[in-house]
Amino acid sequence: MIKIKQIFIDMDGVLVDFVGGALKAHGIKYRPEWPSCVYRMSEALGMTDEEFWLPEMLTEQWWAKLLPEEWATSLCVSLESKCPGLRVLTKPVSHSGSWAGKKTWLCRNLPGLYNRVTMTDDKALQAKPGVLLIDDCDEECDRFIEAGGEAVCVPRPWNSQTQKGGIAEHVLDCVDAIESIQPENPNFPRMQVDCPMPECKPPKGIEVDHG
């Protein structure tokens, strides 16, 4: 059995509804039928990168205001209880607004993970035996496994996975299938996702409207 000592979870497409926010930014009201296994949203919409990345989508406000996926909190709570010390592993776009907005998003939506985030341009650098990545990108999962880690690909229309039941349940079933949890430190402080952290204050002007 593989012993998982650390779980990393991706943001966009796993915890954050990036696609919904991008469709809204482009004034597209309905989710288009997604071409099979096309990961890049610009390609799925038939746009160039220049056409896809509107100026507003490079601001901290835009990234901070993206909605959470409906399973985000329950999935994180379940993973934290399986293997204490859950961390976020995310690859921001090359713009400071994305980096800052992702921190603000965590502050407002999953404050328990606010200080447990690694931002990188290469997720595979974190891969080693006993480390699991939960991600929605086939290529990222493959690279993480090739680099020595484990990966669960979250079923979304843009990857090769087929969903069986709810997303959170599917991911947890996959984790159960590959590991036997033995946390390095069973006393690691548990995340309290619903408990706002006093030191975690978003900048003025950043309001998250879930309406």
Between 84 and 174, CB nearer to Mg ion:
174
Binding mask 130-159 for Mg ion (x = CB under 5 A): ------x-----------------------
Find the binder of Mg ion among 6, 13, 104, 144 (CB under 5 A): 13
- Rounded to a whole number of angstroms, the minimum distance from the CB of residue 60 to Mg ion is 19
Residue 95 is encoded by which pair of tokens?
A: 């713009």
Q: Is 33 exposed, middle or buried (0-12, 13-18, 19+ CB in 10 A)?
A: exposed
Query: Residue 69, interface with Mg ion (CB under 5 A)?
Result: no
The yes or no reply on residue 10 touching Mg ion (CB under 5 A) is yes
Residue type, position 161, single letter: Q
CA distance 84 to 127: 18
d(CA 99, CA 60): 8
Q: Based on C-alpha coordinates, what's the Rg of the chain?
A: 17
Annotate each residue in 82-121 with x if it binds Mg ion (CB under 5 A) or - if it does not, as one string.
----------------------------------------
Residue 90 near residue 9 (C-beta atoms within 8 A): no
Residues that bind Mg ion (CB under 5 A): 10, 12-13, 136
